Structure 1
Amino acid sequence: MADAGTYLYAVARDVDVPCPEGLRGVADQAVRTIARSGLVAYVSTVPLDQFGEEPLRRSMEDLDWLGETAHAHHRVVEAVAAAAPVAPVRLVTVYSGEEQVRRLLDERHDDFVEMLSRVAGRQEWGVKAYVEKAQSAAQSVAQPAAPQEREASRQESSSPGTDYLRRRQASLRTREETWRQAGARAERIHDVLRSVAVASRRHRAQDPELSGRDEWMVLNGAYLVDEERAEEFARALDGLRGQGIELELTGPWAPYSFTVLEEGGAR
């Protein structure tokens, strides 16, 4: 269909793993499979008035649309991952048609096979580390000094702005030291966790608007862990809690962070 594209969710080995019955993906479209070269791609047909190049530019700035699409994408990947090792692809990967997907499976066959072998029997776990901001120091700068402090400042300083600058510098030093110590602690946490994992990735720390938290995020890590070592990984994490750092464990997930493949030819 000229007005439709093929949305790709994930790739797995073609080992007679059926598409989960009744599974629906983005835009509430049915999910089906395309088999080629010993691999199988999980796809949906999507309308280009929503998933064409220009509509996507607008839609990707709509957080409600993006969240709904990401949830549907993830739902499909998790359903497939429950049955077989899977290589998820990037969100909103749209091809012109089935033939282009078949060509991808032919041309990147070896890459997909290697990738699927690497993640077989393993799961991705996410760990985020947060530290409280130096609130008291920041507040001391933002709030005006008490009358007694202003009088003492006038007696000790020849310039009205000297006291403010002194408190401002102290605040910055406190923030810098807090951040330095938290960063060193995050490095230690990452080193311990990756010693249990078979692979690890450090993603960019999320802005508070995305994380939904006021604290600084000092670690946003992903860890590929053998299924039989999942409890060991959790125990290692528990042993790292405290010392001013709050740790958040998420997962297990399909191995999104360890199956990145640049799909040539996608929209």
Structure 2
Amino acid sequence: MEHLIYLYGIIPESRDVAPFKGLDGEKDAYCLHLDGMKAVVCSLDEFEYNEEKLEEKVNNVEWLHEKAFHHHEALDKLNEEGPVIPMKFCTIYQSETSLRATVEPKKQAFIHSLSRLDGKQEWNLKIYCDDEKWEEAFAHHNSIIEEKKAEIENLSPGKQFFAKKKLDQWMKEEMDKEKDRLCYAIHDTLDDLAVESSVKKTWGKDVTGKNEAMNWNSVYLFSKEQVEEVAKHLESWKEKWGDRGWKFEVTGPWPPYHFASLQ
């Protein structure tokens, strides 16, 4: 019976991998020796995982969730033991021969990337802000607002209405500017400590499920030696900005999904 080859990722030639069950939950994953590196793979039954059957499986939300988690968990364990170049979920080849034909010509790029990733960790930072708390804190710490409010009190009722609207608009613009300034300042500090970084798209509340708006989303590749210093900065920011409505969500270390490019 023919078997397809499912590829989890590429690791250094010198690495060994603790055994684990493959995607089908039956056959063990194993290392395929390539030219100067190893591919962590598992075999899949061609009848059960051909293109048509796979499309059916992927459309099953329960199957998709279970197997995507399996893929991530496998890469997470590989990442704990050393550098790995992670592959996308459901990277499948018709045979070991077709895998070799695709991967081995890129040998030097793979080996260079593995060397670059050795001793590094990927971390994600998302910054959220409670706008009500932020507005209260912003107004409290801004003397100009108090001065403008005092000026408005001396106006006639008709002029007060338009002056308040103008002040509210000015406050919103200034609050947004300060949000951006704070997020970029934090990013610049972390970027100076990182080997590489990437700013990602922020998500809406419908995606995050949170009451606070996401104002920043970025990923960083840190050397393991820098992680402790990064943690100190984050604790400092939480202490300074936490009571003003800011929340810092840090997750990691992750497999280097964003930094394993062969370019």
CA deviation after TM superposition for structure 1 residue 124, in Å: 1.1
- Per-residue CA deviation, residues 132-179 of structure 1 (Å, 9 max, x unaligned), is 246999xxxxxxxxxxxxxxxxxx8xxxxxx9xxx9999887766544
In structure 2, the CA distance between the partners of 1:50 and 1:181, relative to structure 1 (3 Å rule), is farther
SS of structure 1 residue aligned to 2:9: strand
- Per-residue CA deviation, residues 69-108 of structure 1 (Å, 9 max, x unaligned), is 2211112112222222111112221122211221233111
CA deviation after TM superposition for structure 1 residue 118, in Å: 0.8
Structure 2 letter corresponding to 1:28: G
Q: Which of the two has greater helix per residue?
A: 2
Q: Is the 8 A contact 1:11 1:39 kept in 2?
A: yes
1:265 is matched with which residue?
Answer: none
SS of structure 2 residue aligned to 1:184: helix
Structure 2 letter corresponding to 1:248: E
1:19 is matched with which residue?
Answer: 17
- Per-residue CA deviation, residues 209-244 of structure 1 (Å, 9 max, x unaligned), is 443323221222111111112101111222233153
Q: Is the 8 A contact 1:89 1:261 kept in 2?
A: no
After superposition, residues 228-243 of structure 1 pair within 5 angstroms as 228-241=225-238, 242=241, 243=244
CA deviation after TM superposition for structure 1 residue 197, in Å: 1.0
CA deviation after TM superposition for structure 1 residue 66, in Å: 3.0
Equivalent position to 2:74, from 60, 70, 76: 76
- Per-residue CA deviation, residues 189-213 of structure 1 (Å, 9 max, x unaligned), is 1111111111111222233344332
In structure 2, the CA distance between the partners of 1:198 and 1:98, relative to structure 1 (3 Å rule), is same
After superposition, residues 25-64 of structure 1 pair within 5 angstroms as 25-29=22-26, 30-47=28-45, 51-57=49-55, 59-60=57-58, 62-64=60-62
Alignment pair present for 1:132 and 2:130: yes
Q: Is the 8 A contact 2:113 2:262 kept in 1?
A: no
Structure 1 letter corresponding to 2:202: A
Identity %: 28
In structure 2, the CA distance between the partners of 1:185 and 1:56, relative to structure 1 (3 Å rule), is farther
Q: Is the 8 A contact 2:122 2:252 kept in 1?
A: yes
> Could you tell me how far apart the structure 2 residues matched to 1:168 and 1:236 are?
38
CA deviation after TM superposition for structure 1 residue 55, in Å: 4.6
> Could you tell me how far apart the structure 1 residues matched to 2:122 and 2:220 are?
5
> Could you tell me how far apart the structure 1 residues matched to 2:236 and 2:36 are?
43
1:212 is matched with which residue?
Answer: 209
Normalised by the length of structure 2, the TM-score is 0.75
> Could you tell me how far apart the structure 2 residues matched to 1:212 and 1:50 are?
36
> Could you tell me how far apart the structure 1 residues matched to 2:66 and 2:174 are?
40
Name the stretch that deviates more: 217-226 or 168-177: 168-177
CA deviation after TM superposition for structure 1 residue 258, in Å: 0.6
CA deviation after TM superposition for structure 1 residue 180, in Å: 4.0
The CA RMSD over aligned residues, in Å, is 3.3
Structure 2 letter corresponding to 1:186: C
SS of structure 1 residue aligned to 2:215: strand
SS of structure 1 residue aligned to 2:189: helix
> Could you tell me how far apart the structure 1 residues matched to 2:61 and 2:234 are?
32
SS of structure 2 residue aligned to 1:27: coil
Normalised by the length of structure 1, the TM-score is 0.74
Q: Is the 8 A contact 1:7 1:93 kept in 2?
A: yes
In structure 2, the CA distance between the partners of 1:134 and 1:109, relative to structure 1 (3 Å rule), is same
2:247 is matched with which residue?
Answer: 246
1:88 is matched with which residue?
Answer: 86
Q: Is the 8 A contact 1:134 1:175 kept in 2?
A: no
CA deviation after TM superposition for structure 1 residue 126, in Å: 1.3
- Structure 2 gap ranges (5+): 136-157
1:113 is matched with which residue?
Answer: 111
Name the stretch that deviates more: 89-98 or 47-56: 47-56
2:178 is matched with which residue?
Answer: 181
> Could you tell me how far apart the structure 2 residues matched to 1:6 and 1:203 are?
32
Q: Is the 8 A contact 2:131 2:245 kept in 1?
A: no
In structure 2, the CA distance between the partners of 1:90 and 1:260, relative to structure 1 (3 Å rule), is farther
1:197 is matched with which residue?
Answer: 194
Structure 1 letter corresponding to 2:62: D
